[in-house]
């Protein structure tokens, strides 16, 4: 029986003359890992922002965990979290201070213990006492991921979750995210340009181009449908608009 935790119905975002997202509808089932794939400007970050209410849609409806996000987003934000390279944490606070503040904002109990656990899992224990501004890009990404899991989110939105990480660390993080999903039953929606990551983590892929959903399926079925060997080739076909299948198999 279907149990969607993320639902978008006819969502559109227009900035003056620019149509960033055009009448997008899709839903994501509980416990699944879904990827938003598309080139730059396809609307991935815009969609993630609208899901959290950071950005207001021009039209349409967004329902998260059964709650209308345009009317009652504060009812569910304690159960959701975000990791994105487009936002930062206060540079002059230490990593521990940053995590403490966010843990309190999310109403986390036993804050110190939760931070220690995440510090171990994301290998950031060695620099909990350092100010965030002194960290490397890869270290910041790990801290941002730790922040995004402080509240044991039921829905985790990830924008380029392993950006700036070396392949080994990225692989460990992907493993952790997969374990987290399996252990908690959480739903993950991620925007990524890393096709290996998508193939490894995701059950479901939504292909976007110029703000519209142009296809949706599992990674294996997309490969089959487009007659390609890698998801990267499918991505390039879709991004350039040279795919042969058009909107065949489009799910909503």
Partner 1 sequence: MKSLRRINAMVLRYTYLVRRSWPRILELIYWPAVQLVLWGFITEFFLTNSTWLAQASGVLLAAVILWDVLFRGQLGVSLAFFEEMYSRNLGHLFASPLRAVELVGALLLISLVRTLIGVGGAALLAIPLFDFSIFGLGLPLLAFFFNLLVMGWAIGLLVAGLVLRYGLGAESLAWVAIFAIAPVSGIYYPIAVLPDWLQTVAWALPSSHVFEGMRAVMFEQVFRVDLMLQAAALNLLFLLVGTGVFLMAFTSARQRGLLLHIGE
Closest distance of CB 88 from partner 1, Å: 4
Closer by beta carbon to partner 1, 17 or else 168: 17
Binding residues for partner 1 restricted to 121-150, rule: CB under 8 A: 131, 147
Question: 4-15 and 59-64: which strand pairing?
Answer: antiparallel
Residue with tokens 């006819």: 10
Structure tokens at 187: 């739903």
3-state secondary structure of 123: coil
Does 32 participate in binding partner 1 (rule CB under 8 A)? no
Site string for partner 1, 1-20 (x = CB under 8 A): --------------x-----
- Answer yes or no: are the C-beta atoms of 37 and 192 closer than 8 Å: yes
Q: CA 26 to CA 206: how far, in whole Å?
A: 9
Our CB check for partner 1 shows the closer of 132 and 235 to be 132
Nearest approach in angstroms of CB 1 to partner 1 is 30
Of 89 and 165, nearer to partner 1 (C-beta) is: 89
**C-alpha dist (Å) from residue 234 to 42, 115, 161, 242:** 15, 40, 21, 10
- Of the candidate spans 32-40, 104-112, 177-185, 191-199, the one that interacts with partner 1 by CB under 8 A turns out to be 104-112
Q: Kindly write out the interface string for residues 56-95 of this chain, putting x where it contacts partner 1 by CB under 8 A and - elsewhere.
A: x-----------------x--xx-xxx-x-xxxxxxxxx-
* Shortest CB 25 distance to partner 1, Å: 21
- Tell me the HSE value of 8 on the side-chain side, using a 13 A CA sphere: 29
Cβ nearer to partner 1, comparing 163 with 222:
163
Least distance to partner 1, CB of residue 210, Å:
17
Alpha-carbon distance values, 108 to 60, 75, 105, 114 (Å)? 32, 16, 8, 8
Query: Given strand 155-159, what is the order of strands in its sheet?
Result: 80-83, 155-159, 187-191, 33-37, 204-209, 212-217
Residues that bind partner 1 (CB under 8 A): 15, 45-46, 49, 52-56, 74, 77-78, 80-82, 84, 86-94, 97, 100-102, 104-107, 131, 147
């Amino acid at each position: 029986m279907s149990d969607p935790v993320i639902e978008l119905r006819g969502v559109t975002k227009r900035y003056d003359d620019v149509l960033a997202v055009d009448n997008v509808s899709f839903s994501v089932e509980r416990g699944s890992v879904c990827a938003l794939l598309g080139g730059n400007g396809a609307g991935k970050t815009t969609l993630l922002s609208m899901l959290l209410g950071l950005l207001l849609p021009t039209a349409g409806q967004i329902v998260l965990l059964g709650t209308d996000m345009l009317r009652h987003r504060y009812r569910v934000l304690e159960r959701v979290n975000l990791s994105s390279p487009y936002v930062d944490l206060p540079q002059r606070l230490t990593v521990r201070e940053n995590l403490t503040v966010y843990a309190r904002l999310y109403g986390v109990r036993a804050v110190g213990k939760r931070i220690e656990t995440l510090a171990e899992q994301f290998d950031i224990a060695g620099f909990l006492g350092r100010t965030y501004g002194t960290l490397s890009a890869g270290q910041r990404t790990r801290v941002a991921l730790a922040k995004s899991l402080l509240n044991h989110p039921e829905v985790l939105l990830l924008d380029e979750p392993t950006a700036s990480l070396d392949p080994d660390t990225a692989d460990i993080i992907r493993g952790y995210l997969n374990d987290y999903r399996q252990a908690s039953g959480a739903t993950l929606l991620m925007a990524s340009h890393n096709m290996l990551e998508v193939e490894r983590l995701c059950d479901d892929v939504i292909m976007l181009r110029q703000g519209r959903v142009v296809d949706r399926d599992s990674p294996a079925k997309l490969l089959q449908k487009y007659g390609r060997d890698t998801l990267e080739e499918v991505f390039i076909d879709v991004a350039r608009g040279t795919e042969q299948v058009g909107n065949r198999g489009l799910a909503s």
